[in-house]
Amino acid sequence: MVKVSSVANRIQLSFAAAVLIVLAIGFLSFYYLNQLNRGLERIVETDIRAARLTEEIKNSLYEAYEQERALPAGEIPIAQLEKMRSLIVSLSELTGQAKSLASKDVNIARYDEMSRLAAESLDLLEQISRSTDLEDLRKRLRGNLASGVALSREALQSRYQDLDEHQSRLDRLSSNAQRNMIIVMLVLLVSAAALGFVAPRIVTNPFKKMTRAIEQVQSGNLEERIPVETDDELGDIAVALNKMLADIRTFDQMKIRRIAFERRRFETLANMVDYGVVLLKRVGEVEFINSQLYMLFNLPSHEVEGKKLEDVPLPPPIKELCEECLLGMQKIEGREIEVTVFDREGQEVDVALVVDAAMVRTHEGRIVNIILTLEEKSQNDKQFLVRHLGLPSDVEEA
């Protein structure tokens, strides 16, 4: 026996599959939304921080530039030099941070140049604090600061361009997220549709097999059996139905044997009587004629049983009486007819017959057969038939 999941397990598996699909769709949805959120946060955080640093660098350079211009022409106080030194050191640190956030090579080069100018400016401040020839040193310091201001402007302008590019990147992230969500929804729809088609089949397939087997039995195929594929409640049902089908087949065979036995007994009794017997089907076929009529009308057996009434070579009066019975479906009692037969010498002989007809009904009252008996009207006719037509001697004894 093939081990197959029971109905309860199949239903549970179907629900489990549905839950897994929902969980998978939920996970994918949260995953893509989280990717979008992280991308947005990264872009926004990077842009805001880089823009703030670039702005601070520019402001620091302007402030350093203004402080340098405010220095006295003679001896410079140590406090002012320390203030400028702290400002330039802070500028160097901001430049390093901005460089770490830069993505373009040109901006990295600008920040490297600003770091170099800051380091050179610190060296110039150190020389100014020890030297008496200040004009050249201050001129070089002012040039460094002016170059740094120009570089910060370029970096800030490039940062504005980066913002535009990042806006395009945000649009791409949004489009990708929408596309992924659409794909997720399509997968959800396809999975739901597939589950909707597959789950009922998994549950109903055993019942369909049972239905097909029962339909085969209803059509007369009593050899059909339901395949037993499980050892659960469905298997129990299949076993019970197969046993029932086997019992039906046994009963049908017994019924067939009983019908065959009753038919043989009827034919035996019909052939033993000294009068003619005709058995008609309701559809107009001749089902049986006893031996008395075979000999009386000299009928070949292959032209009688199973043939339509109009194809059987019976005398016209008998055919007309049979057709009357088929049309009226009513019994006939003591109807006299006259038929012509041939004796042993081939001479025509007129014989008077008394005909009775009765209906054979089912237990529901439905007519299935008509039985007619044809008996010679007088004892003389019977004796004549024995002498000239060769009928059985028991007719004479009767």
Q: Name the phi and psi angles at 370, rounded to 5.
A: -125, 125
Q: Same structural domain for residues 27 and 176?
A: yes
Domain-located, residue 243 = no
pTM: 0.41
Q: What is the mean pLDDT of residues 347-364?
A: 84
Q: Name the phi and psi angles at 340, rounded to 5.
A: -110, 130
> Among residues 135, 162, 195, which one ends one of the domains?
195
Tell me whether strands 286-289 and 332-342 are parallel, antiparallel or unpaired.
Answer: unpaired
Q: What is the pLDDT of residue 134?
A: 66
Q: What is the pLDDT of residue 300?
A: 76
> Among residues 143, 163, 195, which one ends one of the domains?
195
- CA–CA separation, 259 and 271 (whole Å): 18
Q: Same structural domain for residues 19 and 151?
A: yes
Q: Same structural domain for residues 179 and 278?
A: no
Report the CATH number at residue 298: 3.30.450.20
Q: What is the pLDDT of residue 172?
A: 74
Q: What is the pLDDT of residue 1?
A: 44
* 125-151 tens-digit pLDDT: 777 777 666 677 777 777 777 787 787
Nearest to 145 by CA among 111, 121, 128: 121
Domain-located, residue 368 = yes
Domain-located, residue 50 = yes
Question: Per the structure, how many domains does the chain have?
Answer: 2
Q: What is the pLDDT of residue 163?
A: 63
Q: What is the pLDDT of residue 361?
A: 86
CB 309 within 8 A of CB 285: yes
Q: Same structural domain for residues 387 and 293?
A: yes
Helix 134-218 vs helix 105-130: crossing angle, to nearest 10: 150
Report the CATH number at residue 154: 1.20.120.660
Q: What is the mean pLDDT of residues 350-363?
A: 85
CB 39 within 8 A of CB 173: yes
- Let me know if 222 is exposed, middle or buried by CB neighbors in 10 A (0-12, 13-18, 19+): middle
Domain-located, residue 241 = no
Domain-located, residue 2 = no
Q: Name the phi and psi angles at 347, rounded to 5.
A: -85, 145
CB 312 within 8 A of CB 324: no
Structure tokens at 150: 């120009």
CB 311 within 8 A of CB 285: no
Q: Same structural domain for residues 180 and 297?
A: no
The residues near 161 (Cβ < 8 Å, ≥ 6 apart) are none
In this model, does residue 179 exceed pLDDT 50? Answer: yes
Domain-located, residue 259 = no
Host domain of residue 121: 7-195
Domain-located, residue 331 = yes
- CA–CA separation, 194 and 183 (whole Å): 16
Least confident of 30-34, 40-44, 336-340, 344-348: 40-44
Domain-located, residue 155 = yes
Q: Same structural domain for residues 177 and 294?
A: no
* 273-318 tens-digit pLDDT: 878 888 888 888 888 888 888 887 777 766 677 788 888 888 888 8
Residue 67 region, left (φ>0) first, then alpha (ψ -120 to 50), else beta? alpha
- CA–CA separation, 273 and 382 (whole Å): 13
Q: Same structural domain for residues 49 and 176?
A: yes
> Among residues 162, 179, 195, which one ends one of the domains?
195
Q: Same structural domain for residues 23 and 135?
A: yes
* 307-340 tens-digit pLDDT: 888 888 888 888 888 888 888 888 888 888 888 8
The residues near 314 (Cβ < 8 Å, ≥ 6 apart) are 297, 299, 322
